[in-house]
Amino acid sequence: MSKRYTACILIIGNEVLSGRTQDANLGFLATSLNDLGIQVSEARVIRDDRQIIADAVNETRRRDDYVLTTGGIGPTHDDITSESIALAFGLPYVRNAEAEAILRAYYKPEDITEERLSMADMPEGAVLIDNPVSRAPGFQIENVFVLPGVPRIMRDMFQGMAHRLTGGTPMLSRSITAELPEGELAAPLGVLQNRFPDVEMGSYPFFQGGTLGANLVLRSFDAALLAEAAVAVAAMVRDLGGEPTDAEQDQGVLS
Amino acid sequence: MSKRYTACILIIGNEVLSGRTQDANLGFLATSLNDLGIQVSEARVIRDDRQIIADAVNETRRRDDYVLTTGGIGPTHDDITSESIALAFGLPYVRNAEAEAILRAYYKPEDITEERLSMADMPEGAVLIDNPVSRAPGFQIENVFVLPGVPRIMRDMFQGMAHRLTGGTPMLSRSITAELPEGELAAPLGVLQNRFPDVEMGSYPFFQGGTLGANLVLRSFDAALLAEAAVAVAAMVRDLGGEPTDAEQDQGVLS
Give the tens place of pLDDT for each residue, B148-202. Answer: 999 999 999 999 999 999 999 999 999 999 999 999 999 999 999 999 999 999 9
Instruction: Please tell me the distance from the alpha carbon of residue A135 to that of residue A102, in angstroms, as a whole number.
Output: 7
A16, A116, A150 member nearest B206 (Cβ): A150
Would you call A186 and B116 a contact, using CB atoms and an 8 Å cutoff?
Answer: yes
DSSP code for B71: S
Contacts of A211 (CB under 8 A, 6+ apart): A179
Amino acid at site A17:
L
A13, A44, A134 member nearest B44 (Cβ): A44
Q: Which of A8, A55, A115 to mutate to test the interface with B (most CBs of B within 10 A)?
A: A115
Contacts of A76 (CB under 8 A, 6+ apart): A115, B182, B185, B186, B189, B190, B203, B214
pLDDT number for residue B245: 87
Instruction: Please tell me the distance from the alpha carbon of residue A55 to that of residue B252, in angstroms, as a whole number.
Output: 40
pLDDT higher than threshold 50 for residue B250: no
pLDDT higher than threshold 90 for residue B101: yes
**In B, residues 225-244, which contact A (CB 8 Å cutoff)?**
none
pLDDT number for residue A252: 34
Instruction: Please tell me the distance from the alpha carbon of residue B125 to that of residue B52, in angstroms, as a whole number.
Output: 22
Report the interhelical angle of B182-195 vs B223-239 (nearest 10°): 140
Overall fold of domain B5-164: Molybdenum Cofactor Biosythetic Enzyme; Chain A (3.40.980)
Please report, rounded to a whole number, the percentage of residues in chain B having pLDDT higher than 90.
88
Cα–chain center distance at A16: 15
Low-confidence residues of chain A, pLDDT below 50? Answer: 249-255
From residue A228, how far is each of A124, A195, A224, B202 by CA, in Å? 51, 11, 6, 51
pLDDT number for residue B247: 65
Question: How do residues B2-13 score in pLDDT, each as one tens digit?
Answer: 789 999 999 999
pLDDT number for residue B117: 97
From residue A63, how far is each of A7, A8, A25, A56, B54 by CA, in Å? 9, 9, 22, 11, 17
CATH architecture of A172-251: 2-Layer Sandwich (3.30)
Rounded to a whole number of angstroms, the distance between the first and last alpha carbons of chain B is 30
Please report, rounded to a whole number, the percentage of residues in chain A having pLDDT higher than 70.
96
pLDDT number for residue A248: 55
Question: How do residues B104-152 score in pLDDT, each as one tens digit?
Answer: 999 999 999 999 999 999 999 999 999 999 899 999 999 999 999 999 9
φ, ψ for residue A161, nearest 5 deg: -110, -5
**pLDDT, mean over chain B:** 93
Would you call B29 and A19 a contact, using CB atoms and an 8 Å cutoff?
Answer: yes
Rounded to a whole number of angstroms, the distance between the first and last alpha carbons of chain A is 30
pLDDT higher than threshold 80 for residue B253: no
pLDDT number for residue B248: 55
pLDDT number for residue A71: 96
A15, A27, A187 member nearest B217 (Cβ): A15
pLDDT number for residue A208: 83
Q: Which long-range contacts (CB under 8 A, 24 or more apart) does B221-230 make?
A: B221/B169, B221/B170, B221/B171, B221/B172, B222/B172, B222/B198, B223/B172, B225/B196, B225/B198, B225/B199, B226/B172, B226/B173, B226/B174, B226/B199, B227/B174, B228/B196, B229/B174, B229/B192, B229/B196, B229/B199, B229/B201, B230/B174, B230/B176, B230/B254
pLDDT number for residue A253: 35
Same CATH fold, A172-251 and A5-164? no
Element (H, E) at A137: strand A135-141
Look at residues A55, A57, A56, A137 and name the one whose alpha carbon lies nearest to residue A95. A137
Mean pLDDT, to the nearest integer, of B207-213? 84
Tell me if residue A73 falls in helix, strand or coil.
Answer: coil
pLDDT number for residue A172: 93
B43, B118, B133 member nearest A17 (Cβ): B43
Instruction: Report pTM.
Output: 0.93
Cα-based torsion angle of the residue sequence A87, A92, A94, A97 in order, rounded to the nearest 10 degrees: -120
**In A, residues 44-103, which contact B (CB 8 Å cutoff)?**
44-48, 52, 74-79
Would you call B14 and A212 a contact, using CB atoms and an 8 Å cutoff?
Answer: no
Q: Which of B32, B77, B118 to mutate to test the interface with A (most CBs of A within 10 A)?
A: B77
Tell me if residue A123 falls in helix, strand or coil.
Answer: strand
pLDDT number for residue A3: 87
**In B, residues 1-20, which contact A (CB 8 Å cutoff)?**
13-20
Instruction: Say if residues A209 and B152 touch (Cβ distance below 8 Å).
Output: no
Look at residues A187, A98, A79 and name the one whose alpha carbon lies nearest to residue A140. A98
Residue ranges of the domains in chain A? Answer: 5-164, 172-251
Amino acid at site B185:
L
